[in-house]
Amino acid sequence: MSSDYWSLKHKIVVVGGGYAGTLAANRLRQRDDVDVTLVNPRPHFVERIRLHQFVARTGEATLDYATLLGDGISLVVDSVTRIETDARKVRLESGRALDYDYLIYAVGSRAAVPEAVPGAAEFSFDIAEFEAAQRLRSRLDDLSLDAPITVVGGGFTGIETAAELVEQGRSVTLVCGGGLAPTLSAKGRRYVARWLSRHDVAVLENTAVAEVRVDGVVLAGGGVRGSALTVWTAGFGVPELAAASGLRTDELGRLLTDETLTSVDDSRIVAAGDAVAPSGRALRMSTYAAGPLGAQAANTVLSRIAGDEPAALDLAFTGACVSLGRHAGIRQLARMDDSAVNLHISGRLGAVVKETACRFVIDKRIRREARDPGSMTWPKAGPRPTQQPRTMVHDEV
């Protein structure tokens, strides 16, 4: 085609090829006059909700982008180091630069290992990203099955990691800074606690880690527990790209936007996924929210191209899933505002529901958008209230 044809196309750069960014890239193809480039630091898609399986060698966690992206999307394997809003360019680690008319900011989240805890950054492992999971898996291969392992963090990631490891015959202690699975209902928490107890996971609730050593952890209340390997899952942060590019963020570093997911600083930048804080009130970091946020971000860009007013964020939560090894799990039901109700599905059926949810995200959302852009739907609850009741810790699904 002629250069005039390509010059008429709207250049859209999607930064981040996770759940939100990949879906957004596919959904943008509802128009023929868009040129979509997806920038991601890895050549493959990471199923983050399966990293605990990857670590324990009970499953894989990567997919080929060729099976996920629709026709016409350019994949650039590189990292964005800066967004130049005035010039509408992104600078890449390789030295290249990409021009854009619109940019979707979907950089996701990462581990937040606290520097304030001596030894945590030096001696503990995290499981937030693929490379970290690779290091953890390699370290596990060097340990005997009876070597004591400590998992720090009583949220969903910590629970799933501890459960996966104990099913492999590992000796696991789960240290919770607060309560175990605090965002589940009381009945849901009791079910998880019973499962962990039956499988000999030592659970220490309301216990902080004061120091991580190469061979143990020091507890804030006193005492040292031997630990040949410590896995830190307590808390998540986000990349610093937005702040480094002069864009306003919340205290965690998430890009501040309005309710259409448009940056408060630049109408050409729209955000999705874990690294966005609409109206300063971020949603729960989760795969569940990533899909609708990615779709919303794409819709906002398409509306601006068409000269229409973008719609406000509209998402209803329905609950969360947690796997407990390969044969059990829990599906916690919730109100539309994401607060748990006293109803859950557990056991083998809970495991089936969790696995179905993991496959649904890939097959019925991302791949379906690749085949039929604009087809994805999701539960809606109307515009968000002025004050959001609460947020939850990072979830899996």
Each of the 397 residues of the chain gets a pLDDT tens digit; together they read 444 444 579 999 999 999 999 999 999 999 999 999 999 999 999 999 999 999 999 999 999 999 999 999 999 999 999 999 999 999 999 999 999 999 999 999 999 999 999 999 999 999 999 999 999 999 999 999 999 999 999 999 999 999 999 999 999 999 999 999 999 999 999 999 999 999 999 999 999 999 999 999 999 988 999 999 999 999 899 999 999 999 999 999 999 999 999 999 999 999 999 999 999 999 999 999 999 999 999 999 999 999 999 999 999 999 999 999 999 999 999 999 999 999 999 999 999 999 999 999 999 999 999 999 999 999 999 988 875 444 434 455 5
Whole-model pTM?
Answer: 0.94
Give the integer Cα–Cα distance in Å for 173 and 210: 16
Measured from the Cβ of residue 290, the count of other Cβ atoms closer than 10 Å reads: 28
Closest among 251, 257, 252 to 277, alpha carbons compared: 257
Question: 145 near 172, Cβ under 8 Å?
Answer: no
123 contact partners, CB below 8 Å, separation of at least 6: 212, 213, 214, 230
